[in-house]
Structure 1
Amino acid sequence: MISPGVFVPVFERNGFISRLDYCIWEQACRLLRKWMDAGETLFPISVNVSRVNIYTSDLVESICALTEKYRIPNRLLNLELTESAYTDSPQIMMEMIDQLKAKEIYCSYG
């Protein structure tokens, strides 16, 4: 097993982290859809968002596209924003959080 502390910085440097994040978000949406179809009680799933994706102009659209694709309420996907993303550029981070909240996509950070 490899610690995220080892591979995440490498993926951030080579740009692969955006694709990895997206794959994880999609798996979470797929799982939520499966639970909905099975009539299970639903709880939000928290997924990480790398600091690279915070500064991507299409983050909100990407998340909404996934929730629409899998027909799940946006409120079921909780984005976990890292403290390092917040400290890099708090103004950009707060603007992104406001955009996400407007779409009922909840965030936690720290």
Structure 2
Amino acid sequence: MKHWVFVLIFLVAPLAHADLMVSFIDESRLPYDFSPSNYDNSSSNYDNSVSNYDNSPSNYDNSFSNYDNGANGENRLLMKEGSKLYRVGYYVRADNGVTNFFPYRASVLSTI
């Protein structure tokens, strides 16, 4: 029985969603493997492009209208400034394996 519980937890764990903290970095300081100059990471790569429907904000799964992506959803991107947390956007893991990051509109930014 313990074996099946472990397997069940193992299968469900990758599906978990949670808030992610973000910070600003200087893109030029990234190693090449993480840089947008690397074609694998570039928006010029169709797999990463918003032209790909899986990555497009017009796809409901990626839309702000989807509750999970909204201000009270499970996919929020947060930024800490001093002692305050700000909601700055949301993320969505697409079926194609790409994690997309979307900003909130300026009028939606608020503290938590």
TM-score calculated relative to the size of structure 2:
0.25
* Bigger Cα Rg: 2
Which structure dedicates a bigger proportion of its chain to helix?
1
Query: Higher relative contact order at CA 8 Å, sep ≥6: structure 1 or structure 2?
Result: 1
TM-score calculated relative to the size of structure 1:
0.25
